[in-house]
A and B are shown apart, each in its own frame.
Chain A
């Protein structure tokens, strides 16, 4: 067991800082615990004692502490002390503590951190985990004979609460520990969990909550999340416990031999410098932003790995067994470097990392600080990190992130109201546990901070949705899923519905995945020309169906550390073979792209507008900005710059909002619609995190001079009205958003492995439902929910709206006779990135149709 292999690292050595505070603890540790601490040469830290004190006073609290501060143990200590004080024989056999974390793996990891003290102090405490992988027999036993401490995920809590036994199970609950709360709270999973907490407060009114969080910009939002809200207009907050901050991290930009590229995200140019850094350290953790970047960097490093250093790869698409292997090797200290995506971002603690290398722009200050915190789990020594920008613009972003880290400022997570689709799922689950009174449930639901502002009318609409679909046309009364009982309760109309709920619980709606399997050897000799039989070999992992769909036999792509050739698709598996090709033909598959945070964007704009700050930048970047200020202009931090110039036979408009790729894509869609109406004949656009380039057939500067184009009007906020609405009607992103809402809310069923052959085979496409609903019931609650998601999600309409308001009257238009230095990076994205043109998929059809015509008209 790994628990034995490695002691819990957070408490490795005493801290002199603690000595002063230790003399005045308000609540003392029991002697057995003190002896245990002393036996390891440790001292309890102030925040650990503080949580003990809050717990003794039965007060919920939020602990904000960096990685490596003994946060996890601090969360468990109150429960361990309480349970040790009343041995199992002398207390009712009931669940004492519920520990909830966002990651299944985390629950496994914490078992390790918790089991060591339990074993070494010989505490009579039963600890169990419960995840989707837990065998059914054990799950059933956990309900009838619960452990003292249960480690689980939000989805499992929802399932437990939907069981008729829930009241019995949670009756004696004393403490709920919420780990990684900063990651969980602002998501739909967080909404689901907040509703579960509200339910728990009804079933176990005496329980307290302990939230564990990394540093956040606005702790009060998490404190409100932890506290039941009274609905009297002001927010109740849980207590706050913080730690003295550790040594400031040592974050630098990696100096590279080769010059910085103008564009692109491969960071190939820095591979040899990265390799040198790995050689100079014990264990390096390389963070990249996407899975394809991880694959690429892994390939590059192995290409130059003359010393044969053990360098591994870790991302969410790889087979779980392979990931566990890498994690174990990390913990055992047999690796020198791991290339990873955000799967390792959260607080899992595997091994003794002494260097973090962040490849590509960090995109957010908080994410960077979390990633850097993975190096060196000792508060008194600085964590060491290198940032490797992959192009010139990213240098600005890296510099801004380093400054944000030094200043200790964080990205604010924007407040969002609890999602209505999640509420629908919760109401359904509540009905599965037993009949409920709508009045009581409304009161309970609005005690959860995310649903604090929910109106009774909204709540009733959601109840109506769960019951009859919530349609304006009332025809489903006879099929209602909730039926009134005589005494004002609503109950489930059919037991089958409880089964249906259990199959569809949760808020994570994954894109349908396809297994990637190596073609097995064998099959005998083949006649030349006959296709190779697709025999099963090893599974390497899985990829989104939509990526696989576009491959044709013979295409190569990088995955799981190999360049693979696509051999064909059989049922839900893609068969591949290894190739010796150095470069894959299809370089990218999606996933894990974070948009630039508002906070970092603001810092980048300010840096750009302040030439005095440029001296901290590398020479080529300084020179680039210098030429920009001569040839065009550098906008003030409060302005937005728009450049127009001809190039080739086209006329370009480049705008620099710095609002992230998603918001820029939405802006691009809306701008091209508007330009089209103005007769500017737009042809296409491309966006990156900083800028948007639109090109067309008409000279926009001339149109402006003729009075045919008003730039202020072009960017007027009203584009978010009818234009947006018209575009959304066709947008595939909106349809994807709607599908997620429809699955969460229970309108359409999740796809289950084995149950259906492939994702396309659901009975009715959510696209068709979306189209019909939009036309015949445009005020339906699911459309409302999808719209709310689109505002913050794939379309980032909320941020775009903020931008349009911010720049009103602050647009600086710079007509140019040729492309400006600042425009180069975004223009170079053309051909690498998404290029949009015209309206939706019909252009593809048109293109292919014309192809056919050419074919048909060819002579000879």
Chain B
């Protein structure tokens, strides 16, 4: 599809439905009964969130894939890819035209829960010229979300120019209390950064079962957020694309991964992860 050429993060997605409950291994039966689950040391917040520290800041990673920064009353979302369905339709793949309303509904839900004073969308909010295709109903829904709060669109590679009708203000980067918010993570070491662009996802394989989900990935200085959009897939965090950000050896790099479950986030040990 055009608009996506050469961009691995977009071309990949978790397409094959994981056969979640297939037992492959013989020998032993560790999975007859799931062990009782002790209470988690990091108590899940409403929305299944988990506290993640970046520098000296405490961020709340939400189960939806958004981040709420309580001290700044700011909500962050990455890679909404609104109107991705219509972008495909232009090229003959008539995907359901409901992705924008679904994404905005999810966004509305998380805004409703945190009531942020400011929302920052970390780029690729509009898929390939989508702002022009945005239907009236969807546009109104978006404006309603923007009502009464500061709204900042960071420019991404899919939406370098964000038109006026999308509301809000447009920026390339945004610094907030010593943390840089940008679309594409900067190469090499950074001070403190939150970015999107890569659509991180992780595959977990344990005792012959396998599950693939979107995830947050970070190392205490840098946090890469999962794509928020309804039609966005994911790129495995063990893919080479992450090497410039976190180094070649994820374990020694002190990498942390939080996978999105149905109702909450799960912190997962790197050694359980598998490449695709």
Contact = CB atoms under 8 A, between A and B. Distances in A.
A777 B97 CA distance: 10
Contact of B266 (A650, A766, A830, A849): A849
Nearest to A773: B96
Nearest to A481: B92
A809 to B, nearest CB: 33
B203 interface: yes
Contacts of B276: 549, 758, 760
Contacts of A847: 34-35, 206
A835 B31 contact: yes
A838 interface: yes
Contacts of A471: 94, 96-98
Nearest to A771: B230
B20 to A, nearest CB: 4
Given A476-B94, A585-B27, A851-B272, A546 B32 contact: no
Nearest to B40: A853
A109 to B, nearest CB: 34
Interface in A560-585: 569, 585
A550 to B, nearest CB: 5
A845 B33 CA distance: 15
Contact of A776 (B93, B98, B262): B98
A468 interface: yes
A765 B13 contact: yes
B208 interface: yes
Contact of A586 (B24, B32, B232): B24
A846 B262 CA distance: 11
B209 A760 contact: no
Contacts of A836: 21
Contacts of A552: 205, 274
A848 B215 CA distance: 14
A26 interface: no
B17 interface: yes
Interface residues of B, number: 72
Contact of A546 (B4, B16, B84, B269): B16
Contacts of A855: 269
A587 interface: yes
B95 to A, nearest CB: 6
B15 A848 contact: no
Contacts of B33: 650, 683-684, 695, 837
Interface in A766-799: 766-769, 771-773, 775-777, 780
A768 B13 contact: yes
A168 to B, nearest CB: 28
Interface in B74-99: 84, 86, 88-90, 92-99
A762 B97 CA distance: 18
Contact of B4 (A763, A768, A841, A851): A763
Contacts of A850: 35, 37-38, 40
A259 B115 CA distance: 70
Contacts of A851: 206, 269, 272
A856 B269 CA distance: 10
Interface in A680-700: 683-684, 695
B261 A767 contact: no
B96 A549 contact: no
B132 to A, nearest CB: 13
A546 B18 contact: yes
A856 B203 CA distance: 21
Nearest to B31: A835
A766 B94 contact: no
Interface string B111-135: 0000000000000000000000001
Interface in B7-45: 10-29, 31-35, 37-38, 40-41
B267 interface: yes
Nearest to A738: B17
Nearest to B210: A550
A845 B269 contact: no
B233 interface: yes
A839 B276 CA distance: 24
A853 B93 contact: no
A496 B2 CA distance: 15
Nearest to A512: B16
Contacts of A831: 26, 28-29, 32
Interface in A134-173: none
Contacts of A452: none
B34 A473 contact: no
B268 interface: yes
A593 to B, nearest CB: 12
B192 interface: no
Given A546-B22, A547-B24, A586-B24, A747 B263 contact: no
A589 B25 CA distance: 10
A481 to B, nearest CB: 7
B14 A764 contact: no
Interface of B: 1, 4, 10-29, 31-35, 37-38, 40-41, 84, 86, 88-90, 92-99, 101-102, 135, 203-206, 208-211, 213, 230-233, 259, 261-263, 266-269, 272, 274-276
Which 8 residue pairs across A and B have the least CB separation, nearest first? A831-B29, A469-B94, A776-B98, A841-B211, A849-B266, A845-B266, A735-B17, A841-B20
11 contacts: A473-B98, A475-B97, A494-B92, A586-B24, A683-B33, A732-B20, A736-B19, A767-B17, A775-B98, A850-B35, A851-B206
Given A765-B13, A772-B230, A853-B38, 10 more contacts: A549-B276, A550-B274, A552-B274, A763-B10, A763-B11, A763-B88, A769-B96, A831-B26, A841-B18, A849-B40
